[in-house]
A and B are shown apart, each in its own frame.
Chain A
Amino acid sequence: MMSFLEMGGYAVYVWSAYGVTLLVLALNILTVFLDDSKTTAP
């Protein structure tokens, strides 16, 4: 498990790339969700 997390010494780069991707995708979902709750169903 530790060797998996270490990513052959590239941990900082690999996990930063995956982390920022998840963060940006999640923020987009959150934005739409908040917009949605502002409008009522027709």
Chain B
Amino acid sequence: MIKHYDSLKIFYPLAGRLMPWFGWAFALLGIFGLYWGLFLAPIDAVQGEAYRIMFVHVPSAWMSLMIYAVMTICAITILLRRSKIAEYWLLSSSSIGASFTFLTLVTGSLWGRPMWGTWWVWDARLTSELILLFVYLGIIALGNAIPEKRKAAQAVSMLTVVGSINLPIIKFSVDWWTTLHQPASIFRAGGSAIHPMMLTALLLMAASFTCYYFWLILWRVRIQIRENKQ
């Protein structure tokens, strides 16, 4: 018990000191990323200007998977040993993860309409990402349904671990099945297949979104530590 108390005592001020760095990094990287993506990156030979949706769509999709992976690590930690920080981190992550999953689907739809001629198609990549959104919503509902934080975190942990089966399915869906969605062009054998200016814009946006997540999660965990003390 003393150990937990101490770890929260270290975590709380440390998170408070890190928060502004992540907040400002999110804003600055985001401004650079938008400038790079909207002004500096060249027009796409096939898709014209419509491809610029990529700079919000792809980082959102990466975040939707990354946040779930972080939640799975929290969940395994909670199932193995007691950790208040992991509990708060897990419970606070799901709405941010759901937001990015929602954005992935909406921006993908807005990209699919002019490029594929349809808002939606039931191919493996799109369907598995939609399932991820439902898993996130299930996690949020389960977490809210149980008033006691610790029990909520334990129930959510089990659901999170079960739902993590979906992560490799999303990632490899474009290789395992024939999909309308294109296969990976950044993380692939033989190096990434896009223009360096486009890649720079993409990585700036991804870094910005990552900082956004850490900024908000540290903030949310701090709020939960305070609420628990009252």
A residues adjacent to B (C-beta < 8 A): 4, 7-10, 13-14, 16-18, 20-21, 24-25, 27-29, 31-32, 35-36, 39-42
Contact of B149 with A by CB under 8 A: no
Partner of B227, one of A8, A10, A39: A39
Number of B positions contacting A (CB below 8 A): 34
Determine if B226 and A40 form an interchain contact, defined as CB atoms under 8 angstroms apart.
yes
Residues on A with C-beta less than 8 A from B102 are 24
Residues on A with C-beta less than 8 A from B223 are 32, 35-36, 39
- Chain A minimum-CB-distance residue to B50: A10
In the assembly, what is the distance between CA of A36 and CA of B110, in Å?
Answer: 34
In the assembly, what is the distance between CA of A27 and CA of B95, in Å?
Answer: 11
Partner of A14, one of B49, B212, B227, B230: B49
Determine if B114 and A20 form an interchain contact, defined as CB atoms under 8 angstroms apart.
no
Contact of B219 with A by CB under 8 A: yes
Query: For the complex, would chain A's binding face be called helix, strand, loop or mixed by DSSP majority?
Result: helix
Q: Mask for B52-90, Cβ within 8 A of A = 1, else 0?
A: 110011001000000000000000000000000000000
Determine if A10 and B114 form an interchain contact, defined as CB atoms under 8 angstroms apart.
yes
CB distance from B129 to the nearest CB of A (A): 16
Partner of B48, one of A10, A39, A41: A10
Determine if A32 and B219 form an interchain contact, defined as CB atoms under 8 angstroms apart.
yes
Determine if B227 and A7 form an interchain contact, defined as CB atoms under 8 angstroms apart.
no
Determine if B50 and A21 form an interchain contact, defined as CB atoms under 8 angstroms apart.
no
**Nearest 4 Cβ contacts at the A-B interface:** A8-B49, A10-B50, A7-B49, A17-B107
Determine if A8 and B48 form an interchain contact, defined as CB atoms under 8 angstroms apart.
yes
Determine if A32 and B220 form an interchain contact, defined as CB atoms under 8 angstroms apart.
yes
Residues on B with C-beta less than 8 A from A35 are 220, 223
Partner of A8, one of B38, B43, B219: B43
Residues on B with C-beta less than 8 A from A27 are 99
